[in-house]
Amino acid sequence: MLDILNIELKDILKDELYLQLKESLIKNFKNELFNNDLKQYFYNLGEEKMRELELTNKSFKDILPKGFENNIKVLVYNKGPELIEVIKEFLLDEKFQNKFKIEINKFLSNMNPMASKFISSENIFLKLKTSLTSYLDDPETKMNLIIFVNDKIDKFSEKGIEDTVKFIPYEGKLSVIKAIVDKMLQVVVEDKMILSVLNSFETQALKYKTLGELLLSMGITEQKISNSIFFK
């Protein structure tokens, strides 16, 4: 029976039985990860880790990957023009314009009810919109916006996790945890991801010529195999 240890791994990985086993493994792995009990385990684990973080004095900077903030800042810089355009579109929104004009009228009435009859809120709004649009079109404004957002990113990263998440309702935290877990499981069960892991294992295994050499590298000697119930 120990002759099996002398079979070359390259032949094992091409064998029809191994290929069927590989296909079955992928299918069962996907089904198992969508098992409700296993999903609930990950939900509970996520909730437990969230509670642990809340009890620490760590800031977001302490737990986020190194360079994460800089990546966000690069994204903000690249998306600066788009942010400006979003603000300009907001100024053109009909609901916003109507609300703004109402507030102008209230302001004018409080100052001088008589004067408000002769001053058009429409004209004031148009002048303000023109000035704001001109300001937003200024290249310097883009840099000021980027500097402002980057400053907020730095300040947020220094905030304690507990100080931030304590304002989030318990149900809200659970929803976030479940959304993250569900998304991670969806990524993990993709065929490409599973095949990538299996292919990586096969590549590492092929560093050894025979099955016996592979098992020996794992600390499994011929003596241990001989004493195994599988060979009795």
Q: What is the DSSP code (8-state) at residue 77?
A: H
Phi–psi pair at 59, nearest 5 degrees = -100, 170
| pLDDT score of 231 | 55
Q: What is the DSSP code (8-state) at residue 230?
A: G
Average pLDDT per consecutive 10 residues, the chain (232 residues; last block may be shorter): 76 88 81 75 87 79 80 85 85 85 79 66 83 86 87 85 78 86 77 81 88 83 69 56
| pLDDT score of 79 | 83
CA 58 to chain centre: 20
First to last CA, the chain: 9
| pLDDT score of 224 | 76
| pLDDT score of 118 | 67
| pLDDT score of 232 | 56
| pLDDT score of 116 | 60
Question: pTM for this structure?
Answer: 0.48
Question: Tokens in use for 114?
Answer: 């008589």
| pLDDT score of 210 | 87
| Burial letters 208-226, b for 16+ CB under 10 A, else e | bebbbebbbeeeeeeeebe
Q: How far apart are CA 197 and CA 188, in angstroms?
A: 10
Phi–psi pair at 221, nearest 5 degrees = -85, 170
Closest C-alpha among 190, 165, 170, 179 to residue 43: 179
Phi–psi pair at 26, nearest 5 degrees = -60, -45
The neighbour count for residue 16, using CB atoms within 10 Å, is 7
Q: How far apart are CA 55 and CA 32, in angstroms?
A: 33
